[in-house]
């Protein structure tokens, strides 16, 4: 049987997007053209492939069965084609979309931008929010190059690498009337606290660490971004428990002081994840290498050599 190979990438995108409208936008096609391609796929494979539902399209059993083999075939073709291409960062004129969580945006993105300015001035970055659903970032469909943050329970089409490892510390105002050079457990529990509630897994990790140690907090205010913490702590007697890399940057503020947490709150990973289709892309590989190098230079390298895993590999816990 002869197949129209142009239809296979369309089926792959439809499987990821579950929407004719989004798939057409991603492929640069009109909805009419994509609907026509879907009709040809249905005739070719003698199956409806997708059933329309209220919030999108549900793949049929046959489409689900085809999806892994199709993704593997397209990834193999990409590897062969892209592997023959060269990439010169100094001459590159390219844009990447990345999705860092608020922690990574604070501690890593500025250093990454600085390195790009030196090594690849023609490369541009655009950030999109890292929320509670990976699909919303665009990385599951491949339209976003990288997500950076805490990535647990990733789908099969993502590759996840641990690029750094961080701990937790406390920030207070430098002239705090009740806390000197050391913060004890009883003091910690008496203080009012600033709580950071970014979307995603980072906040859950802190809550779990506090619960494991039986450490209570009297939360006076919750904010959505780390950038708000310094001004609040400097103007109050409150305490904030933050990742060590963020504390290191806040320590440069003369109004603040950084102290060790009263108990060991453990460590947590910084992950980088990308779609399998980008695995062999020379430009993407270069960017991933640069991100890993910048992460290592932050002073919180991964506890072991950075590991790479597929979406279904063993999960790493803080």
Does residue 318 form part of some domain? no
> Residue 83: what pLDDT?
54
Q: Are residues 306 and 249 in the same domain?
A: no
pLDDT digits (tens, 9 = 90+) for 228-244: 999 999 999 999 999 99
Task: Provide the domain count of the chain.
Answer: 3
Whether 249 and 174 map to the same domain: the answer is: yes
Instruction: Please determine, for residue 1, whether its predicted confidence score (pLDDT) is greater than 60.
Output: no
Q: What is the CATH number of the domain that holds 21?
A: 1.10.10.10
> Would you state the pLDDT for residue 286?
95
Q: Do residues 187 and 145 both lie within one domain?
A: no
317 inside domain: no
Boundary (domain end) residue, out of 82, 109, 141: 82
62 with 96, same domain: the answer is no
Examine the pLDDT at 133 and tell me if it is beyond 80.
Answer: no
Q: What would the mean pLDDT of 262-279 be, rounded to a whole number?
A: 90
pLDDT recorded at residue 304: 42
The predicted structure's pLDDT at residue 17: 80
Q: How far apart are CA 80 and CA 196, in angstroms?
A: 45
Where is 308: in which H helix or E strand?
strand 308-310
Q: Is residue 96 classed as helix, strand or coil in its secondary structure?
A: strand
pTM over 0.85: no
pLDDT digits (tens, 9 = 90+) for 97-125: 999 999 999 999 999 999 999 999 999 99
Averaged pLDDT score across all residues of the chain:
85
Boundary (domain end) residue, out of 52, 82, 112: 82
Q: Mind listing the pLDDT tens digit for each residue in 64-102?
A: 888 888 877 777 776 666 555 678 999 999 999 999 999
Per-residue model confidence (pLDDT) at position 255: 97
Q: Both 208 and 63 in a single domain?
A: no
Residues 248 and 212 in one domain: yes
Same-domain pairing of 179 and 127: no
Q: Taking the CB of residue 85, how many other CB atoms lie within 10 A of it?
A: 10
Pair 71, 116 in one domain:
no
DSSP per-residue string spanning 106-164: HHTHHHHHHHHHHH-TTEEEEE----S-HHHHTTTTTSSSEEEE---S--TTEEEEEEE
In this structure, the answer to whether residues 177 and 294 fall within a common structural domain is: no
- CATH number, domain of 116, equals 3.40.190.10
Half-sphere exposure of 39 (CA within 13 A, CB side): 6
CA angle, 250 as apex, 169 and 270 as ends, to 5°? 60
**First vs last C-alpha separation in the chain:** 51
Q: Indicate the pLDDT class of residue 303, thresholds 50, 70 and 90.
A: very low
Domain that holds residue 126: 90-165+268-310
Pairing state between β 94-100 and 146-149: parallel
- Does 2 reside within a domain? no
pLDDT tier at 27 (50, 70, 90 boundaries)? confident
183 shares its domain with 253: yes
C-alpha dist (Å) from residue 210 to 163, 188, 259, 306: 24, 12, 16, 27
> Is residue 170's pLDDT more than 90?
yes
315 occurs within a structural domain: no
State mean pLDDT over 198-205.
59
Residue 1 within any structural domain of the chain: no
Q: Are residues 278 and 161 in the same domain?
A: yes
Residues 152 and 172 in one domain: no
Q: How confident is the model at residue 317 (pLDDT cuts 50, 70, 90)?
A: very low
Query: What sign results for the dihedral spanned by CA atoms 37, 41, 44, 47?
Result: negative
Where residue 316 falls among pLDDT bands split at 50, 70, 90?
A: very low
Single out the residue in 49, 82, 115 at which a domain terminates.
82
């Amino acid at each position: 049987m002869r197949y129209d190979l142009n239809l296979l990438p369309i089926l792959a995108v439809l499987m990821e997007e579950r929407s004719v409208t989004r798939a057409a936008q991603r492929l640069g096609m009109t909805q009419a053209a994509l609907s026509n391609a879907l009709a040809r796929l249905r005739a070719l494979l003698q199956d409806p492939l997708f059933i329309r539902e209220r919030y999108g399209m549900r793949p049929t059993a046959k489409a689900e069965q085809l999806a892994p083999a199709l993704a593997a075939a397209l990834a193999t073709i990409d590897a062969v084609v892209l592997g023959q291409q060269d990439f010169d960062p100094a001459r590159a004129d390219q844009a990447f979309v990345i999705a860092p969580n608020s922690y990574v945006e604070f501690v890593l993105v500025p250093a990454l931008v600085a390195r790009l300015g030196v090594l690849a001035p023609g490369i541009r970055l655009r950030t999109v929010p890292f929320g509670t659903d990976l699909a919303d970032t665009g990385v599951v469909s491949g339209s976003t190059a990288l997500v950076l943050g805490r990535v647990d329970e990733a789908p099969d089409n993502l590759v996840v690498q641990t690029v750094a490892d961080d701990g937790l510390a406390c920030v207070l105002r430098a002239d705090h009337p009740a806390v000197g050079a050391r913060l004890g457990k009883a003091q910690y529990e008496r203080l009012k606290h600033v709580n950071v509630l970014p979307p995603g897994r980072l906040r859950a990790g802190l809550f779990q660490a506090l619960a494991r140690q039986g450490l209570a907090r009297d939360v006076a205010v919750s904010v959505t971004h780390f950038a708000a913490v310094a001004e609040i702590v400097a103007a109050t007697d409150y305490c904030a428990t933050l990742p060590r890399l963020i504390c290191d940057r806040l320590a440069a503020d003369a109004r603040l002081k950084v102290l060790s947490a009263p108990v060991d709150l453990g460590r947590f990973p910084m992950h980088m994840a990308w779609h399998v289709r980008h695995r062999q892309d020379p430009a993407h590989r270069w960017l991933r290498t640069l991100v890993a190098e910048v992460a290592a230079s932050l002073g919180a390298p991964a506890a072991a050599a950075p590991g790479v895993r597929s979406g279904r590999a063993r999960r790493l816990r803080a």
